[in-house]
Amino acid sequence: MDNQTGLGPRRLAFAAVTETLKRRVPLDDVLLLDEIAQGEPLSGRDESLARAIAIVVFRRFGTIRQALLERIEKAPKDERLLHLLAVGAAQILFLDVPDHAAVDTAVRLAQEDPRLRHASGLINAVLRRLARERDAILTNADPWIDTPDWLKNRWIAHYGETGAAAIAEAHRAPASVDLTVKDNATSWAERLNGTLLPTGSIRLSERTAIPDLPGYEEGAWWVQDAAAALPARLLSAQAGERIADLCAAPGGKTAQLAAAGADVLAVDRSAKRLARLQENLTRLHLTAETRAIDAEKLDEPLFDAILLDAPCSATGTLRRHPDVAWTKSDADVAKLAALQSRLLDKAASLVKPGGRLVYCTCSLEIEEGEAQAEAFLARHSDFTRAPIVVDEVGDLSELITQQGDLRTLPSHLRGYGGLDGFFAARFLRTAS
C-alpha cells in the first residue's frame, strides 16, 4: 500500500539521509543496509526515486537547509525533523515531483513517527511555503552555498578563489554517464547517440537503462567516468605484460588493462566487490586473476607495471556522490593520506627494475595527490617521474600540472558536461 501511495520511496530516502549523516558513511552503503529497507519491498523504480531524492538532498544541502531555516522561527532540536523537511524540499525545489505529493508524504511520515508527530503542521506549512517561493529560492547565485566550509577553505587555498568557485559550481549539477569501449570508439559513439570526448571516452547524451543500450550484452563497453579512464591509459599496458591493479574494484581499470592483452592480477580487500568485478569481466569477455587481500599484505613476484588507485576522500566525485562533502572532514583526509603513503611504498616494492607505477586518486585534495607524488619521489631514489604529455590526454594541456602529473577538475570540459576530479602520477623504476 505504501508503494501505491508513494510513501515507501520517501520513507527510504528519509531513513537513508538520516543514517548517512549519523553514521558518516557513504549513502550507497546505507541504502544496502537491511534495517533501512523498512515496510514492503520497493520496486526498482521506487528504489531509484528514493536514491534520487537522497542524492539531491546532499547535492543541494546548503540551499535546502538555508531555505528551511529562513522559514522556521527556531532551528529544530531534533535533526531528523530537518532531514524530513529536506526530503520534501528536495522534491519541491529540484525534482519533477508534484508539490502536493512531496508535502503530503512528508506530513504522513511525520504522523507515523512518535517523535515527529507534533511537527506535522509545521512541515505542512513550511513545505507549502517553499513551493510558493520556489523561484526566489532558486535565484541564489552563490556558488559556495552547497559546499561545506572545510572543503571551501581547502579548495580556495589550493586552486585560488576563481578556480575553487568553478569547482563548487560544477558540483551543483549531476555527472554525465561515460563509457569506455574496447575499440571503434567513433563507430560506437554514433550507435549510442553519444559524444566522443577528446580523451577517448563516449559520453551519453541522455540517461537510459544501461542494459538496454546497444553493445551491452555483447560486452563492447563498460561504464567509466572519462577522468577515471585516464590512469590506466597512462600505464600503456602491453600484451603479455604482468600487471597488478591494486584496490581494483569496481573494475573499470582492470578491464582496460585486460583489454590491452595484459596478464592482470586484480587485488581488492573486499571479496564482494571482487565478485562484482568478475561478473563485469565475464560480460566483457575479458579475463583477470582476482585476489581478495589487503594490498599491503600482497606477496608476489615483481610486476612489469602496477596501477594503484588508492582509497581516498573521493572529493573529486561529488557530482556522483555528494554525500561525501557532508560525511568527511580534514581528519579523514589526513588518515587516508597516511594509508596512501604506505600503499605507494608497497607498490614500489613490487615493481621490476625498469617497470612502471601509476598512482591515482579520485580526490581534489593536494595531500592525496600532488603532495603524495613529491613525498614518494623523496623516499624512493630508485624511481623517477615519467611526465605525462599532452597527446596522452586528448591534447588537453589544462589536465597536466607543471610537474607533468594529471590533475582533472569537475570544471574541466564544461562544454561537454565536466569531469570527475582525479590525480595521477607516473613513475619509472630505474633499470639497475
In a domain, 249, yes or no: yes
Q: Are strands 178-181 and 202-204 parallel, antiparallel or unpaired?
A: antiparallel
Can you give the pLDDT at residue 323?
A: 97
Are residues 264 and 407 located together in one domain of the fold? yes
Are residues 416 and 292 located together in one domain of the fold? yes
22, pLDDT greater than 60: yes
In a domain, 174, yes or no: no
Are residues 385 and 244 located together in one domain of the fold? yes
Domain end call among 104, 122, 138: 138
- Residues in contact with 289: Cβ distance below 8 Å, sequence separation at least 6, in sequence order: 263, 264, 265, 266
In a domain, 218, yes or no: no
Residues 65, 82 contacting (CB under 8 angstroms)? yes
Average pLDDT over residues 383-403: 97
Are residues 118 and 230 located together in one domain of the fold? no
Are residues 391 and 265 located together in one domain of the fold? yes
* Residue 430 CA to its chain's centroid (Å): 35
In a domain, 239, yes or no: yes
Can you give the pLDDT at residue 206?
A: 86
Are residues 305 and 421 located together in one domain of the fold? yes
Average pLDDT over residues 215-222: 96
Q: How far apart are CA 356 and CA 348, in angstroms?
A: 9
Q: Which entry of 247, 312, 360, 362 is annotated as an active-site residue?
A: 362
In a domain, 371, yes or no: yes
Strand, coil or helix: what is 110?
helix
Q: What is the mean pLDDT of the chain?
A: 94
**pLDDT band with cut points at 50, 70 and 90 for residue 361:** very high
In a domain, 144, yes or no: no
Map grid coordinates 602491453 to a residue.
238
Average pLDDT over residues 120-125: 96
Map grid coordinates 528551511 to a residue.
68
In a domain, 380, yes or no: yes
pLDDT tens per residue across span 307-353: 999 999 999 999 999 999 999 999 999 999 999 999 999 999 999 99
Can you give the pLDDT at residue 4?
A: 52
Here the CATH number for the domain that contains residue 314 is: 3.40.50.150
Here the CATH number for the domain that contains residue 84 is: 1.10.940.10
Instruction: Count structural domains, the chain.
Output: 2
Are residues 407 and 310 located together in one domain of the fold? yes
User: Looking at 46-50, 154-158, 177-181, 373-377, which range is the least confident one?
Assistant: 46-50
Q: How far apart are CA 367 and CA 55, in angstroms?
A: 27
Are residues 134 and 236 located together in one domain of the fold? no
pLDDT tens per residue across span 32-86: 876 666 666 788 889 999 999 999 999 999 999 999 999 998 888 889 999 999 9
In a domain, 279, yes or no: yes
Look at phi and psi of residue 193 and say left if phi exceeds 0, alpha if psi is from -120 to 50, else beta: left
Domain hosting 41: range is 2-138
- The DSSP code sequence of 21-47 is HHHT--HHHHTT-TTTS-SSPPPHHHH
Distance set, CA 302 to CA 118, 243, 266, 296, 429 (Å): 65, 9, 15, 14, 12
Are residues 132 and 229 located together in one domain of the fold? no
Are residues 234 and 127 located together in one domain of the fold? no
**How is residue 416 annotated by DSSP?**
G
Neighbours of 74 (CB within 10 A): 6
pTM (global) more than 0.85 = yes
Domain end call among 138, 162, 193: 138
CB burial of 226-253 (b: ≥16 within 10 Å; e: otherwise) equals: bbbbbbbbbbebeeebbbbbbbbbbbbb
* Residue 243 CA to its chain's centroid (Å): 25
Average pLDDT over residues 139-158: 93
Are residues 290 and 404 located together in one domain of the fold? yes
312 is catalytic: no
pLDDT tens per residue across span 160-213: 999 999 999 999 999 999 999 999 999 999 999 999 999 999 999 988 889 999
Q: How far apart are CA 399 and CA 412, in angstroms?
A: 8
How wide is the angle at C-alpha 285 spanned by C-alphas 284 and 291, nearest 5°?
A: 90
Domain end call among 138, 173, 202: 138
Are residues 345 and 232 located together in one domain of the fold? yes
- Residues in contact with 32: Cβ distance below 8 Å, sequence separation at least 6, in sequence order: none
Residues 423, 406 contacting (CB under 8 angstroms)? yes
Neighbours of 111 (CB within 10 A): 14
What dihedral do alpha carbons 293, 299, 305, 309 form, nearest 10°?
30
- Residues in contact with 54: Cβ distance below 8 Å, sequence separation at least 6, in sequence order: 13, 16, 17, 20, 27, 31, 87, 323
**pLDDT band with cut points at 50, 70 and 90 for residue 1:** very low
